[in-house]
Structures are given as structure tokens and as C-alpha cells.
């Protein structure tokens, strides 16, 4: 009986030790899965299509800038809202929000340089909107989680 109790204690310690490891593994799986979300792919494919379409002359450069800016800003805001109840914030350069926002800013600049058909005020406004969305997403993600919203 005593030996059985010792084995049960050992089993309890093992299970207690596995719980944090399981939570960590779940968090890693969740983080890796975020680049597989529909909003990510819509933003990535939509932005790249708009940029290439403007380069090829299939769509006006101003339309490409508007599409790319809207997709980049919306993705950043959606991810920021999604992260409001998460514990901890990843460094900016390791987030998909940063890279989608960077794609929008760089893509818009390249479209303007290649085509020359984008009004400078529109380009500046588009870049500012994307940058503001990126900052807002970081601020939303940096908020401490609510007690009932911990993940």
C-alpha cells in the first residue's frame, strides 16, 4: 500500500510537470498557426496582386496604393484586436503585422517609383494610415489581459 502511494505521488508530480510543458507547446502551435490564417493570406496575396498589377499596367497605380494600404491597415488592426487578451508581446520584427505593414509601405513606394502615377498627398496619406494601424496594433497587443480573457 505504501509503495502504491509513493507511485501515485510520483505520477502526480509527473502530471503536474507536464501541464506547463503542454501549455507551452499549445502556445507555440498557436503562434505558428497565425501565418496560416485567412486574413494573413488575403492581405499577402491581395497586396502582391495589386502591386504586380500596377507594375504590369493592369490596374491604375492609385488603385494599387489604396488596395495595399487598406489590406495592410486592416490586417494590423485585426491582429491587434486578436492579441488584446494575450499575455506577452512578441518583438515587432517577429510579427506578421510588421511584415504585412512593411509590404504595404514598400510596395506603395515601389509602385509610385515605377509608375510615377501616384499623387504625393495620396501616397503620404496611405503610408501614414498603414503606420498608424501598425502602431495601434502594437498598442492593442501591449494591453494587459483582462482576468476573464487570459489565454
In a domain, 43, yes or no: yes
For the whole model, what pTM was predicted? 0.68
For position 70, what pLDDT does the model report?
93
In a domain, 29, yes or no: no
Task: Provide the number of structural domains found in the chain.
Answer: 1
In a domain, 133, yes or no: yes
CB contact at 8 A, 61 and 54: yes
Q: Which domain holds residue 116?
A: 38-142
Give me the phi and psi of 118, to 5 degrees please.
Answer: -115, 130
Q: How long is the chain?
A: 151
Q: Which SS3 state, helix, strand or coil, does residue 58 take?
A: coil
In a domain, 6, yes or no: no
Stretch 89-100: mean pLDDT: 77
Instruction: Please say if the pLDDT value at position 27 is more than 70.
Output: no
Cα separation, 108 vs 61, whole angstroms? 9
User: Which residue is listed with cell 509602385?
Assistant: 111
* Model confidence band, residue 46 (pLDDT cutoffs 50, 70, 90): very high
In a domain, 95, yes or no: yes
Instruction: Please say if the pLDDT value at position 131 is more than 50.
Output: yes
In a domain, 15, yes or no: no
Amino acid at each position: 500500500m505504501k509503495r502504491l502511494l509513493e507511485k501515485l505521488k510520483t505520477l502526480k508530480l509527473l502530471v503536474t510537470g507536464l501541464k506547463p510543458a503542454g501549455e507551452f507547446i499549445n502556445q507555440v502551435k498557436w503562434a505558428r498557426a497565425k501565418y496560416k490564417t485567412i486574413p494573413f493570406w488575403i492581405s499577402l496575396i491581395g497586396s502582391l496582386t495589386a502591386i504586380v498589377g500596377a507594375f504590369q499596367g493592369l490596374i491604375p497605380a492609385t488603385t494599387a496604393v489604396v488596395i495595399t494600404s487598406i489590406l495592410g491597415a486592416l490586417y494590423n488592426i485585426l491582429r491587434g484586436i486578436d492579441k488584446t487578451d494575450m499575455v506577452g508581446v512578441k518583438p515587432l520584427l517577429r510579427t506578421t503585422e510588421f511584415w504585412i505593414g512593411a509590404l504595404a509601405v514598400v510596395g506603395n513606394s515601389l509602385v509610385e517609383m515605377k509608375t510615377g502615377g501616384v499623387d504625393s498627398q495620396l501616397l503620404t496619406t496611405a503610408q501614414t494610415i498603414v503606420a498608424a494601424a501598425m502602431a495601434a496594433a502594437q498598442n492593442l497587443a501591449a494591453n494587459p489581459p483582462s482576468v476573464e480573457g487570459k489565454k
